[in-house]
Amino acid sequence: MGILEKIAEIEKEMSRTQKNKATEYHIGLLKAKLARYRTMLLEPSSKSGGKGEGFDVMKSGDARVAMIGFPSVGKSTFLSKATETRSESANYEFTTLTCIPGKIHYKGANIQLLDLPGIIEGAAQGKGRGRQVIAVAKTADLILMMLDASKGEKQKELLEKELESVGIRLNSRKPNIYFKVKKGGGISFNATCKLTHLNEKLVYVILHDYKIHNAEVLVREDCTVDEFIDVILGNRKYIKCLYCYNKIDQISLEEVDRLAREPNSVVCSCEMDLNMDYLIEKIWTTLDLLRVYTKRRGEYPDFEGGLILRNNSTIEHVCHHIHRTLVDDFKYALVWGTSAKHQPQRVGLNHVVETEDVIQIVKKI
């Protein structure tokens, strides 16, 4: 029996098993097995075949956004309109057959936008070059899920299911669980809060299924069985996702209003250039980037350029952004802006900068 057959058998058994107090250990064990088989499915096989055309694109710019969606939902049209890159678009499916990169220039930032081929149901099992598409999506800072506004919520559910089955967790953070495998001493389990989904016996059962007999587990929040399995595997990607409903010119105003009020959602029409500016602005705010400026001693700040950084960046990140050897000669920095207690404030490498700060780096003599 192959891995796909085993996965199908476990999913069938989970669907026919009633969820109650008596079956929670059995379901927990099935979930652990299912996660293990899915991980095995994604690992490359030892038999190496001929090399095919890869999707690997060198990461460039300040952030990477990957567009994912079913065929013919407007991904290539958006890439052509938002960037200077031309991507072939037509009225038939699978127009794009490889990864096409473009670049959005917005507020001084260079955001890399990837137009990936349309994925189909069963992409997680490798159908329609799905594995290559999902592998590129794992490297992105933001997933832009392109959806056809005229086709209902089913497409969104299918895409979320495909991404979840390969270890991509959308709009969620890593569970607050401390987990460490030890060489001896058995399993030590502790919790700092009341647990409604997990208990000590269930944790033991799951760990034994993964052949882990010596470990330390500290649960700091009320987590589910799936979240605990994610921590054990340690290969999950937690990525922000923005849902873009395209082709709003084909639906009613009431439906547009309903979709626009959904969380993490934007409505637009790429063909008719409706709401495109707001979509790019929403990508910028969801990426959570900030802009800081530098100045030389005795001169005015350079407000023309500026540095684009991730949120919660420190002075050390600023130094690395300017030059990788600057940290070795760093003495202190002067900061003007909202992150400073007084203007200017003398700070060290661990000072967290905020947007629109002005920074002067002082080197050792």
Confidence of residue 48 (pLDDT cuts 50, 70, 90): very low
Highest mean pLDDT among 11-20, 93-102, 308-317: 308-317
Set out the domains of the chain in order of their start, with CATH numbers: 63-84+97-172+237-287 (3.40.50.300), 176-222 (no CATH), 289-363 (3.10.20.30)
Render pLDDT for 30-42 as a digit per residue (tens, 0 to 9). 787 777 777 766 6
Q: What is the mean pLDDT of residues 156-179?
A: 86
Mean residue pLDDT of the chain comes to: 82
Tokens at 53, concatenated: 């055309």
pLDDT for the residue 334: 92
Render pLDDT for 295-353 as a digit per residue (tens, 0 to 9). 888 888 888 878 888 888 899 888 888 888 888 888 989 999 998 898 888 999 899 99
CA distances from 36 to 41, 119, 163, 335 (A): 9, 23, 16, 49
Q: Which of 109, 175, 90 is nearest to 308 (CA)?
A: 109
End-to-end CA distance of the chain: 69
pLDDT for the residue 185: 86
Token pair 């800072």 is found at 141
Render pLDDT for 120-149 as a digit per residue (tens, 0 to 9). 555 555 554 556 777 778 888 899 988 888
Render pLDDT for 240-285 as a digit per residue (tens, 0 to 9). 999 999 888 888 889 889 988 999 999 988 888 888 889 889 988 8
Q: What is the pTM of this model?
A: 0.77
Backbone CA torsion sign across 178, 181, 184, 189: positive
CB 208, CB 279: distance < 8 Å: no
Whether cis (ω within 30° of 0) applies to the bond prior to 175 is no
Percent of the chain with pLDDT over 70: 87
Tokens at 62, concatenated: 């300040």
Tell me: pLDDT of 50 over 50: no
CA distances from 126 to 34, 92, 209, 249 (A): 17, 22, 26, 34
pLDDT for the residue 92: 44
Q: Which residue has the higher pLDDT, 363 or 302?
A: 363
